[in-house]
Structure 1
Amino acid sequence: MSTSTSNNTVSIVNKPYPFWLGGVAASIAASITHPLDLTKVRLQTSGDKGMIKSIRKTIHNNGARGLLDGLTGTLLRQMTYSMTRFAAYDWAKGEVHKGPGQPPAWKMALAGSMAGGIAGVIGTPFETLMVRMQADKAKPIEQRYNYRNSIQGFYRMTSEEGIGSWARGMGPNTLRSILMNMSQLASYDWFKHELMRAKMLEDGPVLHFIASLGAGTVATTVCSPADVIKSRIMTAHGQGTSSTLGVIRQSLAKEGPMFMFKGWVPAWTRLQPTTILIFLTLEQLKKGVDAYRASGGKLL
């Protein structure tokens, strides 16, 4: 933030940013990294072995455009779940830390957990839709959902399975969301603050890049178990394999405890650039809003 003593500048900077900025930044990032997210989901939910082999299989079976399967589901998910988590995190930080200065690490983690819980509940139906659309063509033909796009898919999911389908996988998805936001959002703020406090870097793109790199690594490791379980529940067919305990038992019996980190490399490879792109984009969007307000703009 600016340290200017100008009352006008301070009021511009301190005014809350539009709540949808996080969703826009996440949508831009997800559009670029979608092929990696697609590959991660297919590794988690199918018998594919290795990231490169899975990518080659997708291209061989569906062409290069196959790497964009489920993109509309991804965008819908970002403008619901991601928009909510960023907006809720800003709100939660203000609730848990009323004093001056930067909140301590535990308060940032608490704010991230609160935001993650809210976003996880709101975003679960759209997360389910996204995962299904991404995993679909890696499954046997008879097990595919064949959604044409996110709107038609959401309609079919609701009409064919009832409103109860909106809550499918909500437990592990909300847990993953809590872990993700606690680790990603809070660690980004922590890395950024500590690097500036130590006077190692000034506020700018390089600082944002390094802080994002640390946040992405922390978040991938913390979230991997819940992410794998969530993906398997959301794509499972039949009631016996759709419960959290049922999926865990079945996966442990077949693959052992390391199944919880299956797809870690593509998850990290996907989450790292996504995290970097999200925060770099978000910081630039905020600067753009500041510049717009400083020029006299009133709409944002």
Structure 2
Amino acid sequence: MAQQRQAKWYFGGLASCGAACFTHPLDLLKVHLQTQQVATMGGGQMAVHIVRNQGFLALYNGLSASLLRQITYSTTRFAIYEVVKQQMMSDSSGPMPFYKRVLVAGFAGACGGFVGTPGDMINVRMQNDIKLPADQKRNYRHAADGVIRVLREEGVPRLFRGASTATFRAILMTIGQLSFYDQIKGFLLSTPYFQDNLTCHFTCSLAAGAIATTMTQPVDVIKTRAMNAKPGEFRGLWHIITYTARMGPLGFFKGYVPAFVRLGPHTILTFIMFEQLRKNFGTLKH
């Protein structure tokens, strides 16, 4: 039997960046759907409209900000979760209880959500820029340019606009992805039908992606509106919630299908890359 390896703290960030390169167009479509107040077109129509008017590369608008977000947000949450989990498992003779996985994932998600807020905000703005009139475009050249311009033009507090909703969403996302992935993987490996291979990783990550999407979609809609709002457009978080509620309960799940279409593949690719990094370059267990 091959020796088991443990993931290094930065594997999650690397895997998330790799996944983001493939799923960024889906993330862009999700942002566009969430920021329409009146539903005028679906995801497919939106994609055709963008490519026809802006060109294919417009689907990758804001990729640098997406990578910045993954470097900050995903690296932080994966690092905290993996380091704490490995420490707790080394101090215990049995498997880690699910409630402890949830608590560790929630804490890791809170830290990652706050740290990743600037990159997340720039990501939303750059993705949404192509559908604005020419005189309203922000025209950030790349993520670093966006961060510098927000600091100069709007101040540090604006860079963390939406941090509360981003942090809450990150808590739910990390619980849905990391703790449920580990729990489902442990269950599947306890049966005679699965081994620690690609089939198992695909199944666990697909289920975790579906759970995470359902848990986070209402918060994701509110977060996207808060980050993309013009100064003074909303009086606070409650104003954004009531504004969204005018569309009815489904208003909080706008863009659900593209969100799952994006988050499902992103979760699958992230964990497949993560597991390959762990199995080939991880630290050997003593």
TM-score scaled by length of structure 2: 0.93
Task: Name the counterpart of 1:166.
Answer: 159
1:80 aligned onto 2:103: no
The code of the aligned residue for 2:10 comes to: W
Structure 1 gaps of 5+ residues are 295-300
CA distance in 1, matches of 2:235, 2:168: 16
**Structure 2 residue corresponding to 1:204, chosen from 197, 207, 210:** 197
CA distance in 2, matches of 1:242, 1:29: 36
Structure 2 gaps of 5+ residues are none
Change (3 A) 1:150 1:268: same
**Structure 2 residue corresponding to 1:36, chosen from 26, 38, 50:** 26
Deviation at 1:270, TM superposition (A): 0.4
Residues 146-225 of structure 1: matches in 2 within 5 Å? 146-225=139-218
Task: Name the counterpart of 2:14.
Answer: 24
Residues 51-70 of structure 1: matches in 2 within 5 Å? 51-70=43-62
The code of the aligned residue for 1:161 comes to: E
Identity among equivalent positions (%) equals 40
How many residue pairs get aligned? The number is 281
CA distance in 1, matches of 2:101, 2:132: 40
- The structure, 1 or 2, with the larger RCO (C-alpha pairs under 8 Å, 6+ apart) is 2
CA RMSD of aligned residues (A): 1.7
Change (3 A) 1:95 1:203: closer
SS at match of 2:193: coil
SS at match of 2:116: helix
Task: Name the counterpart of 2:267.
Answer: 275
**Structure 2 residue corresponding to 1:286, chosen from 261, 278, 282:** 278
Deviation at 1:45, TM superposition (A): 0.9
SS at match of 1:239: coil
Task: Name the counterpart of 1:108.
Answer: 101
CA distance in 1, matches of 2:235, 2:154: 13
Is the Cα contact below 8 Å between 1:116 and 1:174 reproduced in 2?
A: yes
Is the Cα contact below 8 Å between 2:9 and 2:83 reproduced in 1?
A: no
Deviation at 1:239, TM superposition (A): 2.0
Deviation at 1:167, TM superposition (A): 1.7
Residues 139-177 of structure 1 show CA distances to partners (whole Å, capped at 9, x for unaligned) of: 333432211111111100111111111220001100000
Is the Cα contact below 8 Å between 1:92 and 1:114 reproduced in 2?
A: no
